[in-house]
Structure 1
């Protein structure tokens, strides 16, 4: 029997087929409207994208997934460096399916032993049409040199359109062999072959081992998978179509979309004609290698999809969370308390310049003698307070980091949420000291004071001088005007006792003017100190912002940018 069956509306080989969404000339419908349609990623682009996925996923995604992708990249790189003029086709199947007979039928010679005992084929046999460049490929396939055979294309000269030049046909051991090494050999070849051919027979085409171990796991490889229903000569003519239909139903139920099925019988030369035509078309198209690698990439790339969200990801921490973080770190560093302390220090320092010296002298006579020393040492005390981490401060910093990280982590998948949190905490132990240093550097020097303070101080001492001179004048008036000290006629300014009330009023007014000047200046200093405190807090906040940008926001933004590139690379790898 020589009948063959193939799927409806499906090409018999792997030749060119129209691409979905394109016109007859290969152009996109959108191109008619003048729209620029991005070119689909090439195989090289997809491999590059997958390589970036592995690189960016390291330390973030599960190790088995990254290892599987790395193995594929290595295998693809090796295959692409080898002959692209050859197409590797494997014949795999169970014991008694007739794959070795089919192999011999295509080769035209008895190259592979046939039989029904288990196992029969113990090593992969290879038959090559066209030796140029095939040696390194067979070495990579690890085919024993004793089982390599070469056929010249002269076998096909009678049918030039059916030339098998460039075909590497492999006959594999039985996948259901009792020998573990044989099964391992099959497992290895099915991962590297360009075209997978599964040979089944009418009695065992529903073999659970075949479907569970190979058909289902490679269901996405329908484009590079061919099912050969062999030994149809054992069926009645009406039974062939029923058997093919049942096999197709089973394959489609297991996820093999639009399976390609061909029927063969190795008992006659014409019984393998349909299968041979498919091999001819596959070799001529020279696309099986790239299609196989594309199917492998599809399978691996889809496993990366759950690790990304469809929503456009953030590329940095938004302004609201940034402001919240800076405020939290400002509070954790104690910047408001420092600013308040600096307000008090400003007022104390101002008192030495704009205060009424008379009042200050009276206050000093009954005040703590350590006051001036503490004023002098205040800046050093403030500096020492922020030179290293404090226990409570570290806790506040941790809370601030957790808050901002949790907010961003909600917008990315779990693996990236973990990496975002890790990035936010990458400098957690350094932050307390960095915040302390930022406050330390923000503290002003106390030997720089406003010029008007010096003017007020000069004015106050001028008033003191006037008051002292007035008191001395009164003393002279009393001595010369009332007690007539010296006997001689004194000058009118010191001898006229009637001037005493006027001079006394002058002294009192001078003292009062000094007190009023001090009071007015204290009010000005109170207003200035508040502004000074605000400026100090703003100055410290700016330095804390720089610390937050460098130690927290920049690492998180870098992680978000890695995630954004990861999303793009998933699309590239998916094609």
Structure 2
């Protein structure tokens, strides 16, 4: 039997390790869904996605603990998978150092009843290949690293423990804070937790409160060793084990593994040694420990979801209410009404009776003239910034669209959906104004029939004017007989005056009737024009509502839906 200090190997790098770990072979975790129950790498990848989805949404301590686990798991999986890290932890006088020495076969760790006895973690390794970086990551002082040359030690058959890294820890109840911190650190990273207790203090409150209860879910990677049973009678051993089991089960450990040992009896450690041999041979303790850690953290994420399937889209009713609220906030109905008035005013310049228009212009209405010439620019300039839609109306619309959705989600995700709805709140008024500006038509384009009517009306004006001139000539040449016998009968025959007058009256009547009929047509078409304008504006408003509100909300709902799926994967379901 020989021992030697483990040579200094290059330390295992721990910085810059990705959160999503690789498997034991070093390959990246698969991206697709697992065919069966998810493996450890799939669960860790799902946990990483949970952390990413929870940033800014979930409680930071949960995210920090999950990120720490991902970092620790990534590092552990990149280190030796051929070694199993087993820690011996316990209180003062429990005999863990004696048990450590008994398994190692040498006095490697100091023993005694004074407090504290072991001040630094001591490690004994069976199999050196790959152990150096692992011990560097465990931060075991090189002065307290030992190796068993088991390949040459055939007498004791230590090769059965090939791959074991057995660590003796300081007392968890030490008066030195640094010793307790050392225990806490190793308890968080060991592959197999071995708690060594003695018959007198197995119910120690500090042990159960600080370690047993918090790690009750780690039953599969926890072993309880009742040491120093040589002090008890056989029937007392059974009573002590039964009482210890009852206590552990009451604290949440399901079917705890308990073995009895005696470091001074000749065969007192055989049972413990057999457990170590089986654990090392199976080489599952590393993944089982990490799986237990993932279980514990994933259950905390499960508290942030409801069992019912969540909505993943904004329903049609809420969409319609939001668009209507934005339409009212932007004043689209008033704009459409203004457009109808502008349409009628502009039409009057084309289809109205020009003589009436001339009379109206003689009265000079500057307000009307300004409205005709400046209305388009005024309307376009009106939809800028918050003038296009009041921020208060927008905020009320955003609150209404998320009120029902947030009630169907857990509180944290409800807040997230409300925040998503308001992510572009300050941009919405200007965007609504821009959508209305883009919907305004060009006033320089008029229907063709307006031009036809205008041509006809001016033709009638020309006929009426010629009729007036004709009547005047008939009066001058026919009534007053100016010009003598050489004048034409068309202007010299006074008997034509009644006929020309009838022509004048008919022309004026036709012009008035044409203007009246066209005004009715314009009134009908202006209503359609206003409806068309309101439809165009509503299409633009719907696009603004989708881009600025609906899409962010649905993206957040989909994040929550994927979050629920990843919780199931992280839980191994």
| Fold in common (TM above 0.5) | yes
Residues 300-345 of structure 1 deviation map (CA, whole Å, 9 limit, x = unaligned):
1110011112222222322221121111111111111111000000
CA distance in 2, matches of 1:275, 1:541: 78
**Alignment partner for residue 298 of structure 1, among 295, 308, 317?**
295
Tell me, yes or no, if the aligned pair for 1:129 and 1:167 is still in contact at 8 Å: yes
The answer on 1:475 being equivalent to 2:444 is no
**Aligned residue number for residue 74 of structure 1:** 71
**Aligned residue number for residue 46 of structure 1:** 43
Q: CA deviation at 1:367?
A: 5.0
Tell me, yes or no, if the aligned pair for 1:442 and 1:540 is still in contact at 8 Å: yes
Q: CA deviation at 1:495?
A: 2.7
**Alignment partner for residue 103 of structure 2, among 96, 103, 106?**
106
**Aligned residue number for residue 506 of structure 1:** 503
**Aligned residue number for residue 215 of structure 1:** 212
Q: CA deviation at 1:565?
A: 1.7
Q: CA deviation at 1:493?
A: 2.6
CA distance in 2, matches of 1:376, 1:407: 47
CA distance in 1, matches of 2:149, 2:273: 16
**Aligned residue number for residue 336 of structure 1:** 333
Structure 1: segments with no counterpart, 5+ residues? 1-35
Q: 1:391–1:119: structure 2 CA closer, same or farther, 3 Å change rule? A: farther
**Alignment partner for residue 227 of structure 2, among 207, 227, 230?**
230
Structure 2 counterparts to residues 16-35 of structure 1, below 5 A: none
**Aligned residue number for residue 191 of structure 1:** 188
Q: 1:390–1:475: structure 2 CA closer, same or farther, 3 Å change rule? A: closer
Structure 2: segments with no counterpart, 5+ residues? 1-32
Q: CA deviation at 1:154?
A: 4.7
Secondary structure at 1:303 match in 2: helix
**Aligned residue number for residue 278 of structure 1:** 275
**Alignment partner for residue 120 of structure 2, among 102, 120, 123?**
123
Tell me, yes or no, if the aligned pair for 2:331 and 2:388 is still in contact at 8 Å: no
Bigger shift: residues 533-542 or 216-225: 533-542
CA distance in 2, matches of 1:122, 1:229: 22
CA distance in 2, matches of 1:235, 1:52: 52
Q: CA deviation at 1:99?
A: 0.7
Structure 2 counterparts to residues 145-544 of structure 1, below 5 A: 145-154=142-151, 157=154, 163-390=160-387, 393-544=390-541
Q: Which has the higher contact order (CA 8 A, sep 6+)?
A: 1
CA distance in 1, matches of 2:423, 2:288: 43
Instruction: State the TM-score, normalizing by the size of structure 1.
Output: 0.91
Bigger shift: residues 275-284 or 499-508: 499-508
CA distance in 2, matches of 1:205, 1:517: 110
Q: 1:37–1:95: structure 2 CA closer, same or farther, 3 Å change rule? A: closer
Instruction: State the TM-score, normalizing by the size of structure 2.
Output: 0.91
**Aligned residue number for residue 573 of structure 1:** 570
Secondary structure at 2:366 match in 1: coil
Bigger shift: residues 244-253 or 550-559: 550-559
**Aligned residue number for residue 8 of structure 1:** none
CA distance in 1, matches of 2:545, 2:415: 20
Number of matched pairs: 540
Q: CA deviation at 1:490?
A: 3.3
CA distance in 1, matches of 2:366, 2:212: 94
Q: CA deviation at 1:237?
A: 1.0
**Aligned residue number for residue 551 of structure 1:** 548
RMSD: 1.8
CA distance in 2, matches of 1:516, 1:473: 23
CA distance in 2, matches of 1:428, 1:300: 36
Secondary structure at 2:278 match in 1: helix
Tell me, yes or no, if the aligned pair for 2:351 and 2:450 is still in contact at 8 Å: yes
